Amino acid sequence: MPAYDGGQFNPPAPVATVSLRDSASGKTVTDVPMLIDSGADVTLLPRTRVDELAISTDQNHTYELMAFDGTTSVAKATELDLIFQRRVFRGRFLISNQAVGFLGRDVINHLALTLDGPALSWEENKPVQK
Amino acid sequence: MKVATYEGFVEGGKVKLTDDVHLPEKAKVYVVVPEVETKAVPFLGSPRLKHPEQAKDFAKKIVEE
């Protein structure tokens, strides 16, 4: 069971590591930290890690985001593979300037995750094989 | 400490020097930015789409590996 991250977050928070892959070239970056954030409508990837793939962003289309306090910002998007829990999530992702990304509901709604706060760990619930 | 000054520019988030400047690999550099205001990156937790109808753009194709 992956442990919560108490180094970058106080109180500790559930952070997963994912891989990002350029589906055209196969180039992959690993160990990308992502906060498991059920409050995030969509997933945001750390720009510095996306830049390592040297893939293009959609220059013609931006998305407006709204924070909890109502402030807005604009994010660009790119198309790639996000690999998490042995699954490939292929599609459009937003890019953030923060060092840690956010796994939003466009990804986590496809998984059954348990956040065990007292144990400061999280895990995916696997379906029981019959 | 000896200091040399070169002019460069930022492109794609990276500092690039002009073609006639060649520095040794791993050379330590300091960047001075004239007349530019930089903004601190705010922590934007739990971001929401301002236009929720755009959520359909982020539908994922899922493949087991």
Q: Give the pLDDT confidence score for residue A46 in this predicted structure.
A: 96
Tokens at A85, concatenated: 């829990």
Residue A91 three-state SS: strand
Q: A interface mutation test: which of B11, B15, B43, B46 has the most A CBs within 10 A?
A: B46
Q: What is the pLDDT of residue A34?
A: 97
Residue closest to A125 by CA, chosen among A105, A111, A107: A111
pLDDT at position B38, please? 56
Q: What is the pLDDT of residue B43?
A: 63
Beta bridge partners of residue A124, listed in sequence order:
A113
pLDDT digits (tens, 9 = 90+) for B4-63: 888 887 776 677 787 778 888 878 888 887 776 655 555 668 999 999 999 999 999 998
Q: What angle do CA A105, A106, A112 make, to 5 degrees?
A: 60
| Residue A33 CB partners (closer than 8 Å, separation 6+) | A5, A8, A15, A16, A17, A46, A99, A100, A101
Q: Which residues of B touch A74 (CB under 8 A)?
A: none
What is the per-residue pLDDT across B34-45, written as a single tens digit (0 to 9) for each? 776 655 555 668
Phi and psi (nearest 5°) for B9?
Answer: -150, 160
Chain A interface, Cβ < 8 Å to B:
35, 37, 39-44, 47, 51, 63-68, 71-73, 77, 83, 86-94, 96-98, 102, 104, 106-107, 110
Q: Which long-range contacts (CB under 8 A, 24 or more apart) does A49-55 make?
A: A49/A20, A49/A101, A50/A20, A50/A78, A50/A80, A50/A95, A51/B12, A51/B13, A53/A20, A53/A21, A53/A22, A53/A27, A53/A28, A53/A29, A53/A80, A54/A22, A54/A27, A55/A22, A55/A24, A55/A79, A55/A80
* Residues of chain A neighbouring B13 (CB-CB closer than 8 A): 47, 51
Q: What is the pLDDT of residue A10?
A: 93
Burial of A101: CB neighbours in 10 Å, binned 0-12, 13-18, 19+: buried
The reported pLDDT for the residue numbered A3 is: 95
pTM: 0.76
Cβ <8 Å between A98 and B44 = yes
Set of chain B residues whose Cβ sits within 8 Å of the Cβ of A66? 47-50
Omega into A2 within 30° of 0, i.e. cis?
Answer: no
Tell me which amino acid residue B47 is: P
ipTM of the complex model: 0.87
pLDDT, tens digit only, all 130 positions of chain A: 899 999 999 999 999 999 999 999 999 999 999 999 999 999 999 999 999 999 988 877 899 999 888 888 899 999 999 999 999 999 999 999 999 999 999 999 999 999 999 999 999 997 666 6
